[in-house]
Amino acid sequence: MKYMMTYDLMESIRNTNQWMGASARAFASYPAMSFGANPAMDYLKAWGEVTERTFSRMVVKPDWNIPPVTGQSGKDFPVVVKTIVERPFGDLIQFTMPGRDTRKRRVLLVAPMSGHYATLLRKTVISLLPDCEVFITDWHNARDIPVSAGKFDVEDYTLYLVDFMKELGSDIHVIAVCQPAPLTLAATAYLAQDDPSAQPKSLTLIGGPIDPDANPTEVTDFGNAVTMGQLEKTMIQRVGFNHAGVGRTVYPGLLQLASFISMNAETHKTAFTKQIASAAKGESSEHDKHNAFYDEYLAVMDMPAEFYLSTVERVFKNRDIARNDFTVAGRKVDIGKITTVAVKIVEGEEDDISAPGQCLAALDLLTGLPDSKKAAHLEPGAGHYGIFAGGSWRNNIRPLVLDFIDANSGEAKPKAANKNAAA
């Protein structure tokens, strides 16, 4: 029962704030309140609207909301989300467009398991769909996974990626964004040793901590400063009785969100103050920039405690990947065994989460890969978000990645994962 009460306390605080927002909104909306002009009621209603929306979004998994893709003929193709592989801790899903000709480029996006849902890569998916068949890892909220499903740590994550790559076949091109970059590299090396024919054609690593010490940030400094005992005591809690994963130890999404917000408290305070004023004036909308951003930013998921702790210990503290000393199920994974998979590194000049050099370190580990199959790009002026979903991605990085995919496609042995796609 350790820390279950603190988990429920956080949820109770969230529920209370959501209720207070809804109550304020309902009170200020009474017809009697409109008999006389009272700006205070407008602001109370606006505060209620913003508060209720804010705290309700924290426990809602966002919809993909992928708009139809327009083909060359001008016809719109609705996007359908299809589950290819269903597993306890995460699924492999595909975005299909019935009636559209199958695209030659097949891309697997590896989404982070970092407290947000895979929908964080929605804009990345949208940008790739016109030119690619797109698959993505859809990780589950740990609080919804029964204890009977077992543990899930960095080794399990790696093996999930191995299975997903095998499912999709050797004509797949993998793009890993941020946190999963080192584990995706390890999964590819695992295949190079275990089943070389199942390796992807190319691997694009975007802003990931292959070697966190190559250019330390606040994230890496924190990981190095805190002890594992301190981390377990202060960050790990146990899921309460209100969820299917009751009793599972997790790193709560709400706790991580509180940490994120505290890092830029003034920025968030200003944003919400402006949104309340905008709502009071009747200038806000369901899909304005504030709501579009915070609906995703506030939607958090719990991570399995084993995954969170093993990530900090093995990726950041011990630098298992950086030292090429990573093991999976008792077997050492030798990154030098990758000899045929083309690897491209993408970093942002202003990335303060995975600073330039951290991801680039992967190329030094690829001792068996010829230089002709290695590539790197440093995007000037781009931050972390911009290199996979912002303007830098859309205008500069995406075309480079597609060119890299085309240059390394070659002949493959495709697996018919998309059985519904029309010829």
Containing H/E element for 376? strand 374-379
137-151, 154-168, 264-278, 284-298, range with the lowest pLDDT: 284-298
Q: How many CA atoms lie within 13 A of 139 on its CB side?
A: 29
Number of residues written out for the chain: 423
Cα 81 from chain centroid (whole Å): 17
The whole-number pLDDT of residue 35 equals 65
Is 333 inside a domain boundary? yes
174 with 274, same domain?
no
77 with 194, same domain?
yes
* Average pLDDT of the chain, as a whole number: 92
200 with 139, same domain?
yes
- Interatomic CA distance for residues 263 and 382, integer angstroms: 20
CB of 107 closer than 8 Å to CB of 405:
yes
Q: What angle do CA 110, 116, 122 make, to 5 degrees?
A: 60
Q: What angle do CA 314, 320, 325 make, to 5 degrees?
A: 140
- Interatomic CA distance for residues 327 and 290, integer angstroms: 43
In three-state secondary structure terms, 388 is: coil
Crossing angle of the two packed helices 4-28 and 39-56, in degrees rounded to 10 = 150
In three-state secondary structure terms, 238 is: strand
Is 232 inside a domain boundary? no
Domain that holds residue 172: 69-223+303-407
Tens of pLDDT, residue by residue over 62-111, are 999 999 998 877 889 999 999 999 999 999 999 999 999 999 999 999 99
Residue 131 class from Cβ within 10 Å (0-12 exposed, 13-18 middle, 19+ buried)?
A: middle
108 with 192, same domain?
yes
219 with 357, same domain?
yes
210 with 336, same domain?
yes
Q: What angle do CA 147, 119, 11 make, to 5 degrees?
A: 50
293 with 308, same domain?
no
The whole-number pLDDT of residue 417 equals 42
Q: Which backbone phi and psi does 70 adopt, to 5 degrees?
A: -85, 125
Q: Among positive and negative, which fits the CA dihedral 259, 265, 271, 274?
A: positive
75 with 104, same domain?
yes
Is 257 inside a domain boundary? no
Return the beta strands (E) in 197-351 as ranges. Answer: 202-206, 237-238, 249-251, 303-304, 326-328, 331-333, 342-348
Q: What is the amino acid identity at position 193?
A: Q
Is 259 inside a domain boundary? no
Q: Among positive and negative, which fits the CA dihedral 308, 312, 313, 316?
A: positive
pLDDT-derived band at 2 (thresholds 50, 70, 90) equals low
In three-state secondary structure terms, 257 is: helix
Alpha-carbon separation of residue 124 from 45, 121, 157, 331 (angstroms): 36, 5, 22, 34
Q: Name the DSSP letter for residue 344.
A: E
Beta pairing class for 173-177 and 105-110: parallel
For residue 43, pLDDT over 70 is answered with yes
The whole-number pLDDT of residue 1 equals 56
Whichever domain contains 209, its CATH number is: 3.40.50.1820
49-53, 57-61, 228-232, 416-420, range with the lowest pLDDT: 416-420
Tens of pLDDT, residue by residue over 244-253, are 999 999 999 9
Beta pairing class for 303-304 and 326-328: unpaired
The whole-number pLDDT of residue 222 equals 79
CB of 167 closer than 8 Å to CB of 198:
no
**pTM exceeding the 0.85 threshold for the entire prediction:** yes
Domain count across the chain: 2
Average pLDDT score over residue span 287-295: 89
Average pLDDT score over residue span 308-334: 96
Cα 193 from chain centroid (whole Å): 28
Is 415 inside a domain boundary? no
The whole-number pLDDT of residue 216 equals 87
The whole-number pLDDT of residue 416 equals 43
Tens of pLDDT, residue by residue over 349-366, are 999 889 999 999 999 999
Q: Which residue has the higher pLDDT, 421 or 264?
A: 264
375 with 285, same domain?
no
Alpha-carbon separation of residue 345 from 151, 178, 182, 257 (angstroms): 31, 11, 12, 28
274 with 332, same domain?
no
The whole-number pLDDT of residue 259 equals 84
Average pLDDT score over residue span 400-418: 74
From first CA to last CA, the distance across the chain in angstroms is 55
For residue 150, pLDDT over 80 is answered with yes
The whole-number pLDDT of residue 412 equals 45
Alpha-carbon separation of residue 125 from 69, 70, 130, 360 (angstroms): 11, 14, 9, 24
- Interatomic CA distance for residues 135 and 341, integer angstroms: 19
48 with 80, same domain?
no
Average pLDDT score over residue span 182-199: 96
332 with 359, same domain?
yes
Is 368 inside a domain boundary? yes
Is 117 inside a domain boundary? yes
Instruction: Give the tokens for residue 307.
Output: 């995954």
Is 363 inside a domain boundary? yes
The whole-number pLDDT of residue 34 equals 67
Rg (Cα) of the chain, in Å, rounded? 23
